[in-house]
Chain A
Amino acid sequence: MQPVRMFCWHFMAYPHLPDDFDEKNESGWVTVPNKLWDGEKSRGLYQEYLGQLAYADELGFDGMVLNEHHQNIYGLMPSPNLLASALTQITKNGKIVVLGNLPPLYLNPLRVAEEYAMIDNMSNGRLIAGFAVGGGPEAFNYNVPSPQGRRRLWEVIDLIVKSWTDDGPFSHEGPCYPMRYVNIWPKPLQQPHPDVWVPGSRSIESMAEVAKRGYCYFLSSRSHGGGTRMAAKEFAGVMKDHGKTYTPFKMGVLLSVYVSETDEQARAESQEGIFYFPRNCLKGHLRKEGRSMTFGPGVPSQSLNSWEAFLDSSRAAAGGDLLGDAKDWADLESKNSIMVGSPETVRKKLWEFVEDAKVGNLLIQFQFGNMKDELARKSMKLFAEEVMPAMRRDSAELFAKDFPMLDEMEAANEPA
């Protein structure tokens, strides 16, 4: 029986901001002045971050997760494929999850099909191919208005998967990307094609598109176990409506963890890095203060339905707190997606989460903001040695009990 899968997620934040960054800047996104980039201090930064992901592979994580963001201090990965390419050469076993490329931003999205196929070959078939529409900030720095973005995304995903599975050359009619000759070289190694993951924040439209194609739904909005359980239940319902069967491995969720010897030590060691993340990196994105480019009335990346839901929600009415508004540990931990403590504490919290949500792909952030390399590595090691084994053992039992069809699917060699 397949146990819960634990991946190491990285944002690759810019760690060298001045102490008065928050005071002097209205956003960490799009317009954040790039004179703040310190070339000398940043020498070796990508090597350090890639090294942490390679270390995750050594420690036995199920994979490494990259993502695409532009013009911000939150994530220095405008091209996750370059980093994925590096990972193919310095890792051996784990999946390389690119979550995801943002194809609506590109003139010719077949470039994504080609690069993903290259990464799949270079990694000996370890790619998980993610596709996303991009958030509000990407709309601004790449000139993509959101109503068109969504329409383009699904045309692109279908075109790319077809370019992997169908023999070329074939023509594609459009409407957004008409092409006369679709005939990519190389083709991906994995058959029929690498797994496809698509992030969403609980909009029913996105869930339906993911479900009817049988792809994996990644819940990008952080939530606690109960909220994730609700999302999983909604997604399972949508899958059922499309004649598919939900399993825990059809869904992923983003969590953050810091483990140290004791609870006190965990807080003391991670405090600086963890709070650097909401205060600076989430400013302009998921924080009330600062210019929002995620929830504005101009070009947010939401559908009409999601905007209506936002106007309905207590968060809009009260101007309620976002993750970036967390001021202290109590605030932060009330969100429940950030777990800090001794191995025992984290094991307990994570198990409660898995037991509640029954989601099979846990994408876990270990490095926060300006957290030092040795601390991130220590936390990963403790997690791998003292949390991961119990999680694997207990989740395999839990899933066997709650999802008996997983065994049959495995026997029939169907992808779970």
Chain B
Amino acid sequence: MSLRDIDVQGRTVHLYEAGSGNPVLYLHGITDMHGLVDSNCAFHDALAEKCHVIAPAMPGCVGSDEDNSLEGIDDLRFHTLEVMDFLGIEKIDIVGNCVGGWLAAEIAAHNPERVGKLVLIGAPGLFVSGEQIGDLFLAVQPLNGKIDDIRHMMFADGNGALAEEWIPDQLTGKPQGMLRYKTFRCIARFGFKPPYFYDQKLVDRLYRFKGDALVVWGDDDSFVPKTHAEAYSKGLPNSSVEIVDGCGHAVQLEAPDAVADKVTEFLG
């Protein structure tokens, strides 16, 4: 495993790489970026046993520079294409989790020639009437010093040790506190104001991606309802859906081996 900083158009991007073999671009979400907790990501590790995992941290996350010009998902898509350009990646399999899944879907719809196979895990990005994506930002506001709501939104067992480890109540451990604050600040830039974590036109543009796609969802996702998995699958012509029982939104943390097995099997 290696961590390094690269310079993309004058902005520092913090990059995680591990494993060898088929290269995979991993686009992270809220809970699963490298460097957020000391014991690295079990899912990253499991994936790296079969593939060469390349995971850039979004602007403002972990060691990456903030980007004040980031105002929408399109800006993030351009940023990510620039990261790919810098790394000399013409075309690559992409695994996108949570908001990273939305980003992956946008790249696949706009730039299908840059994407080999596509994996979306618990991805927001679509509008499904009556099936609202949760208010992440309200949920993370503390209630009497505790941020239980976000733990329940992210994990099937919101009271469990895993949820506590990834989203602790203490806002005061400074390095951790800053990392989490900056993560939410980054995500707020493209997800806070309406449309709330979706792109109304995306669903009708997904057909442009003709490659194979796998849609993975936790059975008990309280952030992006499970119905969104079907919506993605309907939009992507060559796709299938895998629902993981007993898991919530953070499915790749709750069942890292099971999800990694499904993903590596699909990627081949």
Contact = CB atoms under 8 A, between A and B. Distances in A.
Interface string B165-203: 000000110100110111011001100111000000000
B137 interface: yes
Given A291-B143, A304-B66, 20 more contacts: A26-B143, A140-B138, A145-B192, A145-B193, A147-B185, A147-B188, A148-B71, A288-B145, A291-B141, A291-B142, A292-B141, A293-B138, A295-B142, A297-B140, A297-B142, A298-B141, A304-B182, A304-B185, A307-B177, A311-B174
A12 to B, nearest CB: 25
B53 interface: no
B144 A288 contact: yes
B12 to A, nearest CB: 15
B68 interface: yes
A290 B138 CA distance: 13
B121 interface: no
B178 A293 contact: no
Contact of A296 (B140, B174, B189): B140
Contacts of B141: 136, 291-293, 296, 298
Interface stretch (A154-162, A312-320, A383-391): A312-320
Contacts of A143: 192-194
Q: Pick the most buried of B141, B180, B181, B192: most chain A CB atoms within 10 A of its CB.
A: B141
A50 interface: no
B31 to A, nearest CB: 13
Interface string A282-304: 00000011111101111110001
Contacts of A146: 185, 188
Contacts of A288: 144-145
Of A144, A298, A300, the most chain B CB neighbours within 10 A belong to A298
B136 interface: yes
Contacts of A307: 177-178, 181
B136 to A, nearest CB: 7
B61 to A, nearest CB: 13
11 contacts: A136-B141, A288-B144, A292-B142, A296-B142, A296-B147, A297-B147, A297-B184, A298-B141, A304-B182, A311-B178, A317-B172
Nearest to B136: A298
A156 B192 CA distance: 21
Given A298-B136, A299-B184, A311-B178, A139 B145 contact: no
Contacts of B172: 311, 316-317
A151 B68 contact: yes
A290 B143 contact: yes
Contacts of B143: 26, 290-292
A20 interface: no
A374 interface: no
A414 interface: no
Contact of B192 (A297, A299, A312, A317): A299
Contacts of B139: 298
Contacts of A312: 174
Interface string A207-244: 00000000000000000000000000000000000000
A312 B189 CA distance: 25
B177 A289 contact: no
A146 B143 CA distance: 20
A308 interface: yes
A254 B150 CA distance: 35
Contacts of A139: 192
Contacts of B144: 288-290
A34 to B, nearest CB: 17
A405 B180 CA distance: 48
Contacts of A140: 137-138
A299 to B, nearest CB: 5
B236 to A, nearest CB: 30
Given A145-B189, A147-B189, A290-B143, A298 B71 contact: no
A298 B194 contact: no
Nearest to A296: B141
Give the one of A296, A300, A317 with max B CB within 10 A. Answer: A296
Contacts of B137: 140, 298-299
Interface string A70-89: 00000000000000000000
Contacts of A293: 138, 141
B194 A316 contact: no
Contact of B171 (A31, A289, A290, A316): A316
A297 B180 contact: yes
A31 B139 CA distance: 13
A17 to B, nearest CB: 20
Nearest to A284: B141
B193 A144 contact: yes
A173 to B, nearest CB: 16
Contacts of A151: 68
Contacts of B185: 146-147, 299, 304
B176 to A, nearest CB: 9
B173 to A, nearest CB: 8
B69 to A, nearest CB: 9
A252 to B, nearest CB: 29
Lowest 4 A-B CB distances belong to which pairs? A296-B141, A145-B192, A298-B140, A298-B137
A55 B145 CA distance: 42
A298 B138 contact: yes
A291 B143 CA distance: 4
Contacts of B147: 296-297
A308 B180 CA distance: 12
A151 B138 CA distance: 23
A144 B194 CA distance: 9
A290 B68 CA distance: 32
A299 B188 contact: yes
Contacts of B138: 31, 140, 293, 298
A292 B180 CA distance: 17
Interface string B206-250: 000000000000000000000000000000000000000000000
B154 to A, nearest CB: 13
A311 B178 CA distance: 8
Nearest to A308: B178
A152 B177 CA distance: 26
B155 to A, nearest CB: 17
